Chain A
């Protein structure tokens, strides 16, 4: 793998600059950009059309939108769609405010000083052997895959050659998950301290913060933080990496869930469609621009910074912790840092229980891709082993609780719509399968029971044949619904929605 030429500005950023200026991407500006970057108009159009965040014409409908993420649907967001000129949008990562409507009330203006600047803004002592410390802490990635963090760092550190890249994956998009946004609001300096620690450890001259397109408030926070880090000479001033002081760049994603997947993220930074790569090489061997690359989730870096400062035991004692996003029909939705072995019941208790005081009808254990679980699973530890028994995984730690007035079929159908819309379309099982699953649940909401034989075949083709986790996990939404909410499904087959959400009863 030879290194590829490094463009001065990712195409994503160039497009955002144009759209921020004009409100859309004017045709002549696109033509100029294509020329400037030596691309054909077709290749540029291809790239632009991949992302939801870019538009080449004025918006088709009004600006009023309702979030149709699982937390919002669980608390009746679909009813708000009835308002004229209102469109549905995918999960916005603000699940604690469900049901979310857009335009939202303005977020509190970010303070000029990042919340944790005093604690983390200044230079920090780096442990003698950060990788050993991480290893001792047992920290694993918090983005969903759960890979041991120390191994990723060592893999990049051990690559021959000089230049390396650290990417902070802040492209949080898993439905029902908002802990990374929460961290960037409250602990941005600690997150970047983790990134700088990673860069120093693996020898990276560049740090790229890849931020979810919709997180505009957090963009301002990060931009301010980066200026302050520059001023404090903790990072390079300007585009030239300096030894010990990496260049830090903030890149906004284009609005594509799949770009949270690390190879898709890298593709999008290389000005290609955000399609995951098939098999190898791992980013540690050849990642962004062919350089050894460490891609690490926001929360992982947050913990890594804490571990570096306080020692491995600070994290390891009690078996490690993570940030759980808790939303749905709970009293105090929000982010809770709890032991990794917590159960959904623990998190529900932490969030003050269900709003109506009754047991939940069901819950999503770790973000939309982890499917729906019945109340019987409330006491299962949210660990790989604990959830394997229920056919799922801890995912991103995004728990969404469904109250008695929530329809699991509706939640599942909206998630299926989400995966069908967010499939990159590269491989046939996922592109066609997600659409078929969505069709199936849409039909179910219309009273037609699915053909289980067909559905099982589609789901297994997707699980075994999809290129990346999106297509492998997407069937779980349907299969878990069928497995755990049979009565609700059957009722829908009889054109009855027990929660009164489907068939027009709920509006």
Chain B
């Protein structure tokens, strides 16, 4: 600690503290403009000047480190005059007031400071010119005071580096990718610049209204778990900010969170229950439905679902829960299916994203969830990312990764595509799609060969190492290099980066999970971490990056066919007894079906009735034609959603739901952090919270006076679920909790497996190699892989109804190496027919120089380009996840006649 005096009063500060920190600690109120907490100091506005005993000239407090014995004077006549003179200079020509009334950021900081120092504002002139070309962010050069906070926010906080300077002296001004045009720059519209701007220079395009109300909740998009403060005016969310101290995101947001929440207000929201019109069969649009009263629609839904279960048995009904809905909704949903309809046929989209991660981690460690907090990426010496386009799918986690790399962390990225972070990585392993088992086990072999094995960890904390090691030794490096297409030397280099790290954190996504070898891949990744002792410590662990706002929670709540809430085994008699007592009914004994199995059963006629809550299998599931055939064959399809989705076209009853921004409940992010989500707006029309709808159905099934009250549902769940036993709505309203949290007094568990794996000893799995289900052949010589884009989200139900997001990226494209396109006779920007054994879609080609030759990529968000039609539904035998990431395909220009079907 450092001791100094500020205005005569002793102050003690930690090493590294600045004079500004010391001054604040002493209570001195120093004016600042260019300073912002969490960024490097600029020292450019020169307002925080203080005097240091023994120095002739004043120094800026924001960028002067404290030293022992310093004597600081924060105010005297000279300093006051200097501040006034400098502020007057900055204020000259300032277009006050430069912010709209009601701006969530408050009045302009410059104008506020001028007021505090008694400096009159310039007389109002004509309104300054504003560049309104960017869809989300407006820029007023006249209001810019060149504090540079936006540039540091863009570069240091978000890592984009779009905002820089251009010119010098009086010609110096902001540059966007080196130009004057924000709209024409590489800006990805995260809006961090808006959040950091002290004036009205950078503002959200949607103007605020006076007297908006602010409600802080959890972003409904991805699994990062960002807190969003929604500023509501005129009945709509107009602007979004984030509290700087938000635990999962530290005040950072991406374009979806900051500018994409207005999907809420899309005119297509479902506002009244709908019932299929008599005589209408097959897929139909909204006009195939007639409005109904809630009672009528609920009666019909309950009757038909219960009737199907009664007549055909529980095995003939199923339900798909939602990673978008709250924990409480999902708890009630699986209870409705299990206790109300008597089936374990309950699953949700986690099946399609990280079920393979869960299978592998559960078996090896005893828990399937991510081990470390988002911000632990900042603590890692090496970050290993595989199969995750983090910059686009988890943009805020990517900011922590970029920040770590800038501070010296080595970034290793394995991905067949040269995705954003792969370009920035220290090492990019661009392996062939589907070669992950070779690559990851190859990395482990390289670690082994380099003698970088953590023997102490293996001895103390693991079992099964010998078999694992022997398996690695049996691996042929030449074969690894051949299959992956990555030189062995590069694998060795990456292995060394992981093996020599004091702490290595692995993050992964769909790139390795969505394979028939998904569980093998995830086991290999976990094996590598165990081999190098990277588990259970800050900055060391295994983080499957969960994709949806509550996909972790939906799984935790037991919306899975094989487990009850908290991953409790329905075959365990004690567990069965506990639930039977609580629910007043015996649990079904027949095992349940997974998502894809339910779709198959529907097509086969074994599944007669399906209840879908907030999922869209008609666009998200593999082999869509087959899925739609199954949905069409159902006797009863009940859909609860906020929009008329592709799945609704097959429904018999549609129940309009409140969005997650319109009701109470908790959600669990990728870190296992449970945060309370609160209503920002009332639901439109007659839309109701999912929990209420489920309670109504359960009441109709005679399950007592079931309540949709989230607090009651959470309490019931907590009482039945040891890992969540300490949860209550009252506690969550006070702050977030990271499970496991068994008791009310338990603080939560940010890092899993800290004192040893949850299952006791972590168990190595022997390295296994398995090729994708389809290999390229003469008819389909290329490999198709699918994925996501920054501006869109899953099947686009939300993002494509958010004007800013849809304006940025209005449609799909196909990425391929220029040679691959040329070989097919296709041109960059031209239309191609993309075919697999399942079917054909048409899409615009885009040449990408650093794509792997022979590998195609298409994003899956777009209903008009439903690439999932082309995916086969062969499943990973362990996790039942389909293989979205590696399918044999071919392309031809659309101006060429289609070849005969194969």
Contact = CB atoms under 8 A, between A and B. Distances in A.
A46 interface: yes
Interface in B61-96: 63-64, 78, 81-82, 84-86, 88-90, 92
Interface in A460-493: 460-461, 464-467, 472
Interface stretch (A176-184, A224-232, A415-423): A415-423
Contacts of B140: none
B798 to A, nearest CB: 31
B403 interface: no
A428 B90 contact: yes
Interface stretch (B165-173, B283-291, B487-495, B627-635): B165-173
A280 B175 CA distance: 28
B1 interface: no
A278 B49 CA distance: 13
Contacts of B233: none
B57 interface: yes
Contacts of A278: 43, 60, 63
Interface string B616-640: 0000000000000000000000000
Contact of B177 (A40, A49, A436): A40
A425 B172 contact: yes
Contacts of A457: 81, 84-85, 88
Contacts of A461: 46, 82, 85-86, 89
B278 to A, nearest CB: 61
B49 A464 contact: yes
A434 B172 CA distance: 13
Interface stretch (B178-186, B248-256, B534-542): B178-186
Given A46-B178, A464-B58, A464-B78, A429 B89 contact: yes
A457 B167 CA distance: 27
Contacts of B178: 41-46, 49
A49 B58 contact: no
B393 interface: no
B169 A421 contact: yes
B44 interface: yes
Nearest to B155: A43
Contacts of A460: 81-82, 85
A256 B168 contact: yes
B719 to A, nearest CB: 54
Residue from A425, A434, A472 having most chain B Cβ neighbours under 10 A: A425
Contacts of A434: 169-170
Contacts of B44: 426-428, 467
Interface in B33-49: 43-46, 49
B756 interface: no
B169 A435 contact: yes
B722 interface: no
A46 B167 CA distance: 7
A289 interface: no
B175 A45 contact: yes
Contacts of B754: none
A415 to B, nearest CB: 14
B791 interface: no
Nearest to B165: A46
A424 interface: yes
A279 interface: yes
A43 B185 CA distance: 12
A316 interface: no
A420 B170 CA distance: 7
B161 interface: yes
Contacts of A279: 59, 63-64
A250 interface: no
B488 to A, nearest CB: 25
A46 B155 CA distance: 14
Contacts of B179: 42, 45
Contact of B146 (A258, A422, A431, A435): A431
A431 B49 contact: no
Given A425-B172, A467-B43, A432 B186 contact: no
A433 B43 contact: no
A426 B163 CA distance: 15
Contact of B168 (A425, A464, A472): A425
A431 B84 contact: no
Given A278-B43, A278-B63, A461-B85, A42 B164 contact: yes
A460 B79 CA distance: 10
Given A46-B175, A458-B85, A424 B46 contact: no
A273 B168 contact: yes
Contact of B164 (A43, A423, A467): A43
Contacts of B161: 40, 42-43
Given A42-B161, A42-B162, A425 B89 contact: no
A44 B175 CA distance: 11
Contacts of A467: 43-44, 46
Contact of A465 (B46, B166, B176, B177): B46
B57 A431 contact: no
B152 to A, nearest CB: 13
B169 A465 contact: no
A259 to B, nearest CB: 11
Contact of B170 (A41, A49, A421, A458): A421
Given A46-B175, A428-B44, A423 B168 contact: yes
A50 interface: yes
A111 to B, nearest CB: 37
A432 B90 contact: yes
Given A279-B59, A422-B169, A458 B43 contact: no
Nearest to B34: A428
- Which residue among A49, A434, A436, A465 has the maximum number of chain B CB atoms within 10 Å of its CB? A465
B43 A427 contact: yes
Nearest to B93: A432
Nearest to B58: A464
Contacts of A41: 177-178
Interface in B797-811: none
Contacts of B43: 278, 427, 467
Contacts of A432: 89-90, 92
Contact of A42 (B59, B146, B176): B176
From A256, A432, A434, name the one whose CB has the most chain B CB atoms within 10 angstroms.
A432
A420 B89 CA distance: 14
B876 to A, nearest CB: 39
Contact of B169 (A40, A44, A424, A458): A424
Given A45-B179, A46-B175, A458 B165 contact: no
A41 B161 CA distance: 10
Interface string B129-160: 00000000000000001100000000000000
B55 to A, nearest CB: 10
Given A40-B186, A428-B45, A464-B49, A45 B166 contact: yes
A435 to B, nearest CB: 5
A50 B169 CA distance: 9
A458 B89 contact: yes
B167 A50 contact: yes
A172 B43 CA distance: 27
Contacts of B163: 42
A7 B409 CA distance: 20
Contacts of B175: 42, 45-46, 49
Contacts of A44: 178
Given A49-B166, A273-B168, 16 more contacts: A40-B186, A258-B168, A278-B60, A422-B168, A423-B168, A425-B146, A425-B165, A425-B168, A428-B145, A429-B46, A431-B170, A431-B172, A435-B169, A464-B78, A465-B46, A472-B57
Shortest beta-carbon contacts, A-B, top 8: A45-B178, A461-B85, A425-B172, A457-B85, A46-B164, A465-B46, A42-B178, A432-B89
27 contacts: A40-B177, A40-B186, A43-B164, A45-B175, A45-B177, A46-B164, A46-B165, A49-B166, A49-B168, A273-B168, A278-B43, A278-B60, A422-B169, A423-B170, A424-B169, A429-B46, A431-B170, A432-B89, A432-B92, A434-B169, A436-B89, A457-B88, A461-B86, A461-B89, A464-B58, A465-B46, A465-B86
